Structure 1
Amino acid sequence: MFFKATVACVWLLSWLPFKAISALGWLVGHLIASIPSSRRHIGRVNLRRCLPDWTEADRTRLLRRHFVAMVQMLLEYGYCWFASPERLRRLMRIEGLEHLKQHEGRPVILMMPHFTGLDLAGLRVSLETELVSIYSRQKDPWLDEFFRTRRLRLGTGIIFSRQQGTRAVIRALRDGYRLYYLPDQDFGHRDSVFVPFFGVNAATITGLSRMAMVAGAAVLPCYPRREATGYTLVIEPALDNFPTNDAAADAARMNAVIEAQIRRQPYQYFWLHKRFKSRPPGEADFYG
């Protein structure tokens, strides 16, 4: 009942213009940022580790602005779930679409870090090319089915759960789907290497280079940039000489690309995730 009521509220919000959602998110986000919470603690730890040259006051302002961006993103889910294709095109412009079109007939992986607007960006680019993506199953069956249905509502892609592994994804890449891939969170020690992220060793999955190698795919970094009247999805040129035979070097290069994207718009990155949860042997927990 709670989930259905939440969906109904999100549907109502989907009728609001972008600037109204922005204003409401600004108000609620500032309120949430002022309340002590575990997520606020995680954000402070991440920013302290990643931006040690910033003053504490600057990091606090950035974190507050990030809470606003996160709330705005949550309020915008109505656009993801209910907006028409025409409205999606207006809400999310694309810069660099020529880089994607350059690789017609070849497998492509769109490397998308965890920025606010990433779900809207995925729907928008699916209007240009058929996508395959990977999702995490929800514990509640109704919610899991709702999310699946909403993600597939435009008929422009397919999705596989993380539990299904990568074989189905590789087959889809070879069949002409483009992979919309989010590789920048801490999934534990398995299939990960410790490489720098803002100068801090971070458990980083090697799936990007492995799948690119097996499928012969071009890897195009991308990210959504939030603006006053909507978003712009920035698609960058394909990484040259990627992947290599060195999985750790590839993971380090991926992190460096993501770090450069973050520095362009630091408040829009997901700082509330425990990016440094997994530590090399002998290192203490950052978040305790």
Structure 2
Amino acid sequence: MSRGESAPQGATQPFSWAFLCPRYGFVWLLFGLLWLLAYAPHRLRLGVAWGVAALYRRLYSKRRRIVATNLALCFPQQPDAVRAAWLRRHFLLQAYALLDLGRLWFRSPGYLQRQTTVSDPLLFDQLVAQGGVVLTGHGAGLEWVGHYFTMRMTGSAMYKPFGKNRLLNWLFERGRERHGARVYPRHMGLKPHLKHLRAGQGFFYIADEDLGEAHSVFAPFFGVEKATIPLAGKIAAVSRAMIYPALGQLDLRTGRYQLLIHAPVSVPPNDDRAAAGAINQALEALIALDPPQYMWSLKLFKTATPDRPDPYR
């Protein structure tokens, strides 16, 4: 069901005239650059992305080391040359996706839908008709496919605010809600999302962050014990909704995106270890199709198990 250009609903932060102060000048400059790139040819965006990715790799050695560490932990069987190529492509994909915020915020819904393909259209239509939990992870296509979902169905998502930068929070809220979706800060918990699910709508659930041992259980992720939030099964059981693993992919040859969606999975609601394992396996199956697409720059294993120190120190 197309929703068109509906006005944002339920934004947690209104526009403030303080956003026009000089302290936010750099943010507005980037905003203007994104607007220009939104209407630029793909080859120009790709060229800018190459430059941004190369600069980022050189200036932020810490982030580069995190990516290299994660790839070595998760794909020890791959030759060093393969992992090095994945690292370079990973940064290029992330840079292009960042520049594509302009297309998401300024181009029409029709254009955005024409730039998106779905791996299983019938399965996606089932999700749209019945609602459900969209189990996903961070990747190059996360923002894009999130917008695609909101153009096709009603639902909600959770987000982490950008610290004290109120203008960035406002811009991202406006962008994510432009097609009628509802986004809620993480501190509001699951209650608003359960309400949407019980109404037969969708919940775009990002399930791969390491939020610490207090909120997680350990389960294998590409063979490495990872602190995982095991809530997907409980959410599905309480709301009587199905869980659809999904992930967005970016095609650097064309600048188009693909929504990968797999058949619903069963996540035990009363066994946290088994639930965490099922969540990680569902994400692994999607990530393994094209590993560089995933956001390996996250500290996926920062919560250490008793037999393993923090690998990022």
| TM-score (normalizing by structure 1) | 0.93
Residues 99 and 238 in structure 1, CA contact (< 8 A), matched pair in contact too: no
* Aligned partner of 2:296 among 246, 267, 271: 271
Q: Mark the runs of 5 or more structure 1 residues left unpaired by the alignment.
A: none
The DSSP-based 3-state class of the residue aligned with 1:127 is: helix
2:158 is aligned with 1:134: yes
Q: Kindly provide the amino acid, as one letter, of the partner of residue 74 in structure 1.
A: L
2:278 is aligned with 1:253: yes
Q: Kindly provide the amino acid, as one letter, of the partner of residue 172 in structure 2.
A: F
Q: Mark the runs of 5 or more structure 2 residues left unpaired by the alignment.
A: 1-24
Residues 107 and 216 in structure 1, CA contact (< 8 A), matched pair in contact too: no
CA distances 1:118-147 after superposition (whole Å, capped 9, x unpaired): 111111121111121001122212221221
2:32 is aligned with 1:15: no
Runs of 4+ in 1 over 6 A off after TM superposition: none
d(CA) in 2 for partners of 1:95, 1:49: 29
CA distances 1:239-262 after superposition (whole Å, capped 9, x unpaired): 1x4334322112111111211211
Residues 135 and 160 in structure 1, CA contact (< 8 A), matched pair in contact too: yes
d(CA) in 1 for partners of 2:275, 2:306: 22
* Aligned partner of 1:121 among 129, 142, 145: 145
1:144 match: 169
1:233 match: 259
2:6 match: none
The DSSP-based 3-state class of the residue aligned with 1:102 is: helix
CA distances 1:151-207 after superposition (whole Å, capped 9, x unpaired): 11122x111110001111111211232011110111111221000011110000112
* Aligned partner of 2:69 among 21, 45, 61: 45
Deviates more, 1:278-287 or 1:251-260: 278-287
1:160 match: 184
Q: Kindly provide the amino acid, as one letter, of the partner of residue 38 in structure 1.
A: K
Residues 79 and 120 in structure 1, CA contact (< 8 A), matched pair in contact too: no
d(CA) in 2 for partners of 1:12, 1:36: 26
Deviates more, 1:271-280 or 1:250-259: 250-259
CA distances 1:19-48 after superposition (whole Å, capped 9, x unpaired): 432233134323433456110011111111
Pick closer, same or farther for the CA change 1:35–1:159 going to 2, 3 Å.
Answer: closer
Deviates more, 1:143-152 or 1:157-166: 143-152
2:15 match: none
Deviates more, 1:24-33 or 1:133-142: 24-33
% identity of equivalent residues: 32
Q: How many residues align?
A: 286
2:26 is aligned with 1:2: yes
Pick closer, same or farther for the CA change 1:287–1:223 going to 2, 3 Å.
Answer: same
Residues 112 and 180 in structure 1, CA contact (< 8 A), matched pair in contact too: yes
Cα shift at 1:106: 3.9
| TM-score (normalizing by structure 2) | 0.86
* Aligned partner of 2:81 among 44, 57, 74: 57
